[in-house]
Structure 1
Amino acid sequence: MALKRWMAQNWFLIGLAAVVLLAWLLPEPGAAGGVLRSQVLTRLGVVLIFFFQGLTLSLKVLRMGLLQWRLHLFVQVFVFLVIPLLALVLVTVGGACMTEELRLGFILLAVLPTTIATSVAYTGMTGGNVAGAVFNSTFANMAGIFITPMWIGIWLQAGGQSLPLGKLFLDISLMLLAPLLAGQIVRPFVSKRVDRHKKKFSTAASLIILFIVYAAFCNSWKQNIWSAQGTEIALVAAAGAILLFAAAVTLSVAGTRLLRFNHENSMAAWFCAPQKTLAAGAPLANLIFAGHPGLSLILLPIMFYHPLQLLAGGVLINLVNKRRQTASAAAGDGDARAVKTR
């Protein structure tokens, strides 16, 4: 029963490992030109993911968190500036151990927006500012549609490469922003039904992401991208993800203490600022690096970072809640002693 419960709670992580293995065993169907027509289905999947996001996005909750500007400024600067600077240090110091695709993967990881579902859920489980977490995670994902490719373009240009940002922003507007807005337009007519089935939309989006990852690995296996240094590059990606995440969490905790955030805003910052989204990362990477044979290597850092933040978040929730229980018990004992004294 415990194993079944664990598998039910972590089915997406199991799915990631399964699609990578499936791509290794059967690369032909999911590769470009294969029977699954992945070059068409992945683009359709990207459109659906962002339509679902627009459909399930509540502007009422966003308005509730709008005025907490110190929290918003901290999280957005952290997500789009501090972590990219940390990644820049990582690829500069450890670049000799990385391939070009892996360095690009760490830059992509660093400039992605934060998660939505996970950061909001973890914030709520620790008694944090849920409205603030919803606002920051949603705003970051909407802004990331344009900020992420802009950062990637700057990185490529610094390395003597170019990214056609005009065409890319047009594609992004058509495939990401337009479906998001369409979902928002439809939402007022179906909001009650959508909110009742929110989990089903999240599951559908997760399945689409698994297919995008499968297609990316099919192309790389078919073109022998992994044949030279598969195990070594995976270990480097894992080590880099651990270092980057540890640095991000440490700085986010230190920053909230330096700014003297209360408990509620600290929890929102801790669970929004260091996290990065695979849900938006895979579609964005699929658009930005369309046709790139090393797309699976570019996705590798976020695929290690994603489960790491889930596991670390669970540990942090337990630590925070135990501390809150201890503090609450101590306060209760103090009140009881005060009553006896009177």
Structure 2
Amino acid sequence: MSGYFLPIGLVVAFLIAWFLPEPGSALQQMGIIPWMVVTIFLVNGYQTVLSQMPLSGKLWTTAIVAILINLLISPFLGLAAASLLALPSAAAIGLIITATVPSTLSSGIVLTQLAGGDGIKALFLTILLNLVGIFTIPFILPAVLDNVGTLDLSPWPLLKQLLLIVLLPFVIGMLVRRMLQFSPRHWLIRYLPSSCVITTVWISISASSETLREISLLLIVNITIAALLLHGALIALCLASRRLYHPDRAEWLALLFTASQKTLPVAIGILAALNQPIGVALVACILFHFMQLLVDSLLAARLVRSAAEPDTA
């Protein structure tokens, strides 16, 4: 059931926001969204035990490859996909922001384990990408969005925002774990981050409901195709990297399902910081999230079936 909680919750959030946007719009005016992101990373820090991190072998090479693919190359792939599909500026902004943010906080780890990969290494890569992303996003995102030509985005306020809503809560969460005996595997801890993502989407869609009603089916199709192109390109880079430095299968699967994925709450947090209507951009973020879950779930199932085959890579 836990694997379906987030996608089902996102659909329910969309329906409620579509038909009854007033409560969510009121919460958006109160500035709730950044606190949802803070809660997610507070819980993520609470669940993290640095002593469990396997800091040896080729993992540092894998980490460098993950940073290159997920944080440095991906934003330009997002720009290329948006340009290829000739997306309007609002949709392009959403796709590019999605391409710039780091890996998902949970689904990449879960899919790594389902495919027979190393979950601990996936956790390490996820934490690393999210922490390094704090310092890459503020400088890469304005440079890439400059090609869209609609935003004048300064890196320093964005860096401050990410430090406050990502790094600080993460560190506090790790410190709190030293003082509390509450199990990090408790159902409340496990479901709280996903609940915050669902709440964030509900609030964001509610606040942009009028804009969303004007989106055409053709635009939704084009955004979906652009999202699939972006995610497919990231997967292709992960596949190519295996040929270059030959990690073991379990570690490579950790790379595949972390470096190719993107986190929704950080993308929404950045959109909220832009202080402008985010309806169409939010649709691009959510569609990418759904597409990556669909594609990677099918990919994980395929990899499980092929696990017994000889590794000829």
TM-score (norm 1): 0.82
CA distance in 2, matches of 1:81, 1:43: 25
CA distance in 2, matches of 1:205, 1:312: 22
Per-residue deviation at 1:246? 1.8
Per-residue deviation at 1:152? 2.1
**Is 1:30–1:215's contact at 8 Å kept on the other side of the alignment?**
yes
CA distance in 1, matches of 2:58, 2:244: 21
**Is 1:127–1:264's contact at 8 Å kept on the other side of the alignment?**
yes
What are structure 1's unaligned runs of at least 5 residues? 329-342
Q: Which amino acid aligns with 2:165?
A: M
Query: Larger relative contact order (C-alpha < 8 A, sep ≥ 6)?
Result: 2
Q: Secondary structure at the match of 2:246?
A: coil
Partner of 1:201: 189
How far does the alpha carbon of each residue in 1:18-67 deviate from its partner, in whole angstroms, 9 at most, with x for none? Answer: 21221121122211xx2x46533223222222211221111112354586
**Is 2:28–2:203's contact at 8 Å kept on the other side of the alignment?**
no
CA distance in 1, matches of 2:160, 2:259: 28
Q: Is 1:318–2:301 an aligned residue pair?
A: yes
Partner of 1:239: 225
Partner of 2:33: 42
Give runs of aligned pairs for residues 35-184 of structure 1, distance below 5 A.
36=27, 38-62=29-53, 64=55, 68-95=59-86, 98-158=87-147, 159=149, 161-184=151-174
1:11 to 5, 28, 45: 5
**Is 1:240–1:301's contact at 8 Å kept on the other side of the alignment?**
no
Q: Which amino acid aligns with 2:167?
A: L
Partner of 2:16: 22
CA distance in 1, matches of 2:155, 2:215: 32
Q: Which moved more, 1:68-77 or 1:246-255?
A: 246-255
How far does the alpha carbon of each residue in 1:240-299 deviate from its partner, in whole angstroms, 9 at most, with x for none? Answer: 111211222122112212332321222122111211111433233323x2x311x13212
CA distance in 2, matches of 1:312, 1:65: 31
Q: Secondary structure at the match of 1:161?
A: coil
CA distance in 2, matches of 1:169, 1:62: 26
How far does the alpha carbon of each residue in 1:124-159 deviate from its partner, in whole angstroms, 9 at most, with x for none? Answer: 333323332221111111122232232222234452
Partner of 2:259: 273
How far does the alpha carbon of each residue in 1:192-238 deviate from its partner, in whole angstroms, 9 at most, with x for none? Answer: 523232x42231121121121112111212xx323443423222211
What are structure 2's unaligned runs of at least 5 residues? none
Give the number of the structure whose alpha-carbon radius of gyration is greater: 1
CA distance in 2, matches of 1:185, 1:67: 29
Change (3 A) 1:201 1:286: farther
Moved over 4 A (4+): none
Q: Is 1:251–2:237 an aligned residue pair?
A: yes
Q: Which moved more, 1:277-286 or 1:106-115?
A: 277-286
**Is 2:69–2:237's contact at 8 Å kept on the other side of the alignment?**
no
Q: Is 1:292–2:264 an aligned residue pair?
A: no
Q: Which amino acid aligns with 1:320?
A: L
CA distance in 2, matches of 1:258, 1:37: 47
Q: Secondary structure at the match of 1:261?
A: coil
Aligned length: 310
* Percent of residue pairs identical: 24
Q: Secondary structure at the match of 2:262?
A: coil
- Between Structure 1 and Structure 2, the one with more helix by share is 1
Q: Is 1:283–2:269 an aligned residue pair?
A: yes
Per-residue deviation at 1:160? 6.5
Q: Which amino acid aligns with 2:262?
A: K
CA distance in 1, matches of 2:294, 2:283: 18
RMSD: 2.4
Q: Secondary structure at the match of 2:260?
A: coil
Change (3 A) 1:230 1:27: farther
